[in-house]
Chains A and B, each alone.
Chain A
Amino acid sequence: MVTTAAALTDGSLASIKGFLKTLSPVDQVGADARAAMLATRSIKTASKKWAIDMAISMIDLTTLEGADTDGKVKAICNKAIRPDPTDPTVPHVGAICVYNDMVATARKHLDESGGGDIPVAAVSTAFPSGRASLEVKERDTKDAIADGATEIDMVIDRGAFLSGDLEKVYSEIVYIKSLCGDKAHLKVILETGELVTYDNVRKASFLAMAAGADFIKTSTGKVAPAATAPVVLVMLEAVRDFYEMTGVRIGVKPAGGIRTTKDAIKQLVLVKETAGEEWLNPGLFRIGASALLNDLLMQRQKLTSGHYGGANYVTLD
């Protein structure tokens, strides 16, 4: 067993390539079949109730729109603290996820409204495309941390990855991680919809983990397909294998396309039966979503009361 992630590669192209070559390939048909089989798990009654509350506590409640305003951000902060105002037993969500200019608003409003323990995550490094100079990416990250973001969701340079410039991808992650220091957790967005193959997803996952990611995240939410079940499966296998190599547990965050309780529970089944129970907590698994929360709340109300309340019995945001 290697003791630190840094020992896996020295960051040179030859060394990164050498490290990634040690990884087993992924067979697409087999990975799809395994994900489809796990999607048939039937989660009922007590296990469903447990899964719904766990999923709520794992949500990175997200708004990433050009039209975001202080008012919109404050509204989702309130929703994050008390997802269902009629039921205080509902847990708060895992984090708020916003663009970097909204971090200060979110942090201040959470602190003033009883959400001091909910972290703010900022999308960073020229999100969503990652097409900017390192200086811009640096400033983006520093601003977010200065405004109180304790989680940085950076994007990798997919163009560099696809063209084989793995050194650039790796060194950017290492650099952004150094800016995060002990002030912020680093989530690395692979944008799997642009990497396309599962072999690429597995390689990019290991590249990010070796470079110091605390979390690997599927997608920006701006590219389809996003967090498909087989992609999440491949990433969960990667964090499980990375733990075997290094003794370090890296988190996974699917984001994009997870809208229903059924989708969310399928994700938790993937976690349980791939990485294992150790990953079933908000410290190691998050779900990037916005519409999902209300579906979880409606299903929760149904389990509690025995009937569906409908969309007007949960708050819009």
Chain B
Amino acid sequence: MTFEYSGAPESKAIVTIDPLYKLFIGGKFVAPKSGKTFTTINPATEEVLAKIAYAEKSDIDKAVKAAQDGLKVWSKMAPAERGKYLYRIARIMQERAREFAVLETMDNGKPIRETRDIDIPLSAAHFFYHAGWADKLEHAGVGENPKPYGVVGQIIPWNFPLLMLAWKVAPALATGNTVVLKPAETTPLTALLFAQVCQQAELPAGVVNIVTGDGATGAALVNHPGINKIAFTGSTDVGKLIARSVAGTGKGLTLELGGKGANIVFEDAPIDETVEGIINGIFFNQGHVCCAGSRLLVQENIQEELLEKLKRRMSQIRLGDPLDKNTDIGAINSREQLEKITELAISGDTEGAERFSAACTIPAKGFWYPPTFFTGVTQAHRIAREEIFGPVLSVISFRTPQEAIEKANNTPYGLSAGVWTDKGSRILWTAKHLKAGVIWANTFNKFDPASPFGGYKESGWGREGGRHGLAAYLKGAK
């Protein structure tokens, strides 16, 4: 007999999902003017979870107006008082952490281990961190008399729904802005639970407004004349559209876009921990991570040994029910995303790269993709250039540190990179030459509210987190 883990599902009992969610405007849940709705599903089971209000231009008008009204209260409030509200929100998020974790896992498909240990604690941490800044902004090194933009429109993606909300809302509120936030179409539920938290914290009406919908809803928000700044996280294509729309309007803009991160492994790397770092770099959150280590650049003389270890480790990955506490890799967030991953992976096959996939049993229902890597990939392959946003790794070899840098930087993106070596001087040399906003040394995908995050080139404008992230919400900040 072998040691098979019995099912260990987290109970869904803690979560109450309403059949219909309205828009959160001016501190109240209100029906959209058109009465239109759309549905959100559990990508692991394809079951409908809830109907969600669909916001159109007239609803955005209402939300922006509410945010402008909210601004009158919020911007006049003593900064220390604003901080108190943020602390209160952070504490409530901690108290309701399990509820958030279960709901996020159901709506997104990511494993409960990640929502429980990463998404939700980090979200609360962002509110705690920014709560502390609220009354210390003149000491943040961003100018003597920093002023908020006013009403900020925020559009967030489906890969870390609550965490991206926290990254956006916490600094905006700490700096005295009010927000109209649009969560992603496929993952609105934790944002709407957050709206309930805002009510529970007695946040003044209009400070946070949440409007649900699709791309057209987002476009209406971006183009609304009452918005003073746009903050967007999502694809580079949409980011470019937004940049064009905002150009010349005087609106502030920050963009967190795509990536094709290079995870660089030198011959003297601590190999077992490197394998863990590669796994974490590309299979964390099913690879739905803009800063994923999706290109493995490995020194040619250790490639064979490293890949053997990687294959063995990948055979241990547990794919399946995201609510099971032992699941390592959950469901792909949507059918559309699964199709995109599948199409790009097939291009790897047809362009002559060699595929290895872990032998996972794929559940009958839902959207799934097995952890996969391709060898024999060169810079010319589509899978080396395009963001896959799934659990698919492209392995590229190099011979010298200079070659590693050239290949790592040879991309329109520049969000993240990793360096694996036992040699401190090589870490510093490599980091100095990499064109990436975040560089991890002997680790990967580590996040902290105090650490600024953002990209070079087509990976984005501006930073989120830390002092640099505060500056993105302060007008004329240096």
Contact, CB under 8 Å: B273 / A54: no
Contact, CB under 8 Å: B270 / A25: yes
Pick from A26, A30, A42, A48: contact of B277, CB below 8 A. A30
Q: Contacts of B199 on A, CB cut-off 8 Å? A: none
* Closest residue on chain A to residue B272 by CB atoms: A237
Contact, CB under 8 Å: B3 / A30: no
Contact, CB under 8 Å: B3 / A277: yes
Smallest Cβ distance from B196 to chain A, in angstroms? 28
* Given A33-B276, A46-B6, A280-B3: A41 in contact with B326 (beta carbons within 8 A): yes
Contact, CB under 8 Å: A24 / B8: no
Docked pose: A20 CA to B7 CA in angstroms = 42
Contact, CB under 8 Å: B326 / A277: no
Docked pose: A45 CA to B6 CA in angstroms = 7
* Closest residue on chain B to residue A237 by CB atoms: B272
Docked pose: A159 CA to B316 CA in angstroms = 38
Docked pose: A32 CA to B3 CA in angstroms = 23
Docked pose: A29 CA to B7 CA in angstroms = 30
Q: Contacts of A277 on B, CB cut-off 8 Å? A: 2-3
Contact, CB under 8 Å: B5 / A47: yes
Pick from A26, A29, A43: contact of B272, CB below 8 A. A26
Q: List which A37-76 residues lie within 8 A (CB) of chain B.
A: 40-48, 50-51, 54
Docked pose: A280 CA to B326 CA in angstroms = 19
Docked pose: A43 CA to B6 CA in angstroms = 7
Contact, CB under 8 Å: A34 / B276: yes
Docked pose: A48 CA to B326 CA in angstroms = 14
Q: Contacts of B1 on A, CB cut-off 8 Å? A: 50
Pick from B5, B269, B276, B443: contact of A43, CB below 8 A. B5
Docked pose: A45 CA to B5 CA in angstroms = 9
Q: Contacts of A34 on B, CB cut-off 8 Å? A: 272-273, 276
Docked pose: A24 CA to B442 CA in angstroms = 14
Docked pose: A43 CA to B5 CA in angstroms = 6
* Given A30-B442, A40-B325: A24 in contact with B270 (beta carbons within 8 A): yes
Contact, CB under 8 Å: B271 / A24: yes
* Given A27-B442, A41-B326: A268 in contact with B3 (beta carbons within 8 A): yes
Contact, CB under 8 Å: A27 / B3: no
Q: Contacts of B5 on A, CB cut-off 8 Å? A: 41-43, 47
A272 at the interface (CB under 8 A from B): yes
Most chain B beta-carbon contacts within 10 A, residue among A42, A43, A268: A42
B406 at the interface (CB under 8 A from A): no
Q: Contacts of B273 on A, CB cut-off 8 Å? A: 26-27, 29-31, 34
Q: Contacts of A273 on B, CB cut-off 8 Å? A: 316
Most chain B beta-carbon contacts within 10 A, residue among A24, A40, A43, A45: A24
B422 at the interface (CB under 8 A from A): yes
Smallest Cβ distance from A89 to chain B, in angstroms? 15
* Given A26-B273, A273-B316: A40 in contact with B117 (beta carbons within 8 A): yes
Contact, CB under 8 Å: A29 / B443: yes
Pick from B3, B7, B270: contact of A26, CB below 8 A. B270
B182 at the interface (CB under 8 A from A): no
Pick from B6, B268, B276: contact of A30, CB below 8 A. B276
* Closest residue on chain B to residue A46 by CB atoms: B6
Interface of B is mostly: loop
Smallest Cβ distance from A269 to chain B, in angstroms? 8
Q: Contacts of A51 on B, CB cut-off 8 Å? A: 3
B4 at the interface (CB under 8 A from A): yes
* Given A27-B442, A30-B273, A44-B8: A272 in contact with B268 (beta carbons within 8 A): no
Q: Contacts of B8 on A, CB cut-off 8 Å? A: 42-44
Pick from B7, B268, B270, B276: contact of A44, CB below 8 A. B7
B113 at the interface (CB under 8 A from A): yes
Per-residue CB proximity of B1-37 to A under 8 Å, as 1/0?
A: 1111111100000000000000000000000000000
Q: List which A9-38 residues lie within 8 A (CB) of chain B.
A: 24-27, 29-31, 33-34
Per-residue CB proximity of B434-470 to A under 8 Å, as 1/0?
A: 0000000011000000000000000000000000000
Q: Contacts of A27 on B, CB cut-off 8 Å? A: 270, 273-274, 422, 442
Contact, CB under 8 Å: B113 / A40: yes
Smallest Cβ distance from A47 to chain B, in angstroms? 4
Q: Contacts of A46 on B, CB cut-off 8 Å? A: 6
Smallest Cβ distance from B451 to chain A, in angstroms? 16
Contact, CB under 8 Å: B443 / A272: no
Smallest Cβ distance from A41 to chain B, in angstroms? 6
Contact, CB under 8 Å: B326 / A42: yes
Pick from A26, A30, A42, A54: contact of B443, CB below 8 A. A30
* Closest residue on chain B to residue A34 by CB atoms: B276
Docked pose: A48 CA to B273 CA in angstroms = 28
* Given A29-B443, A41-B326: A24 in contact with B269 (beta carbons within 8 A): yes
Per-residue CB proximity of A94-105 to B under 8 Å, as 1/0?
A: 000000000000
Q: Contacts of B277 on A, CB cut-off 8 Å? A: 30
Q: Contacts of B2 on A, CB cut-off 8 Å? A: 277, 280
Q: List which A96-129 residues lie within 8 A (CB) of chain B.
A: none
Docked pose: A34 CA to B8 CA in angstroms = 20
Docked pose: A42 CA to B4 CA in angstroms = 12
Docked pose: A31 CA to B270 CA in angstroms = 10
Docked pose: A45 CA to B119 CA in angstroms = 28
* Closest residue on chain A to residue B5 by CB atoms: A47
Contact, CB under 8 Å: B6 / A44: yes
Per-residue CB proximity of B43-68 to A under 8 Å, as 1/0?
A: 00000000000000000000000000
Q: List which B370-399 residues lie within 8 A (CB) of chain A.
A: none
* Given A40-B113, A42-B326: A24 in contact with B6 (beta carbons within 8 A): no
Q: Contacts of A33 on B, CB cut-off 8 Å? A: 276, 443
Q: Contacts of B269 on A, CB cut-off 8 Å? A: 24
Docked pose: A87 CA to B269 CA in angstroms = 51
Q: Contacts of B442 on A, CB cut-off 8 Å? A: 27, 29-30
Contact, CB under 8 Å: B6 / A25: no
Per-residue CB proximity of B113-127 to A under 8 Å, as 1/0?
A: 100010000000000
Q: Contacts of A41 on B, CB cut-off 8 Å? A: 5, 325-326
Docked pose: A26 CA to B113 CA in angstroms = 25
Docked pose: A312 CA to B8 CA in angstroms = 31
Docked pose: A199 CA to B196 CA in angstroms = 50
* Closest residue on chain B to residue A53 by CB atoms: B1
Q: Contacts of A24 on B, CB cut-off 8 Å? A: 269-272
In the assembled complex, 7 residue pairs joining A and B whose CB atoms fall closer than 8 Å, in A order, are A25-B270, A26-B270, A27-B274, A27-B422, A29-B273, A42-B325, A237-B272
Q: A24-B272, A29-B442, A273-B316 are in contact. List 14 more A-B contacts (CB 8 A).
A: A24-B270, A25-B422, A26-B270, A30-B272, A30-B276, A31-B272, A34-B272, A34-B273, A42-B8, A43-B6, A43-B8, A50-B3, A51-B3, A277-B2
The 6 A-B residue pairs with the shortest CB-CB distance, nearest first, are A30-B273, A42-B8, A27-B270, A42-B325, A24-B271, A27-B273
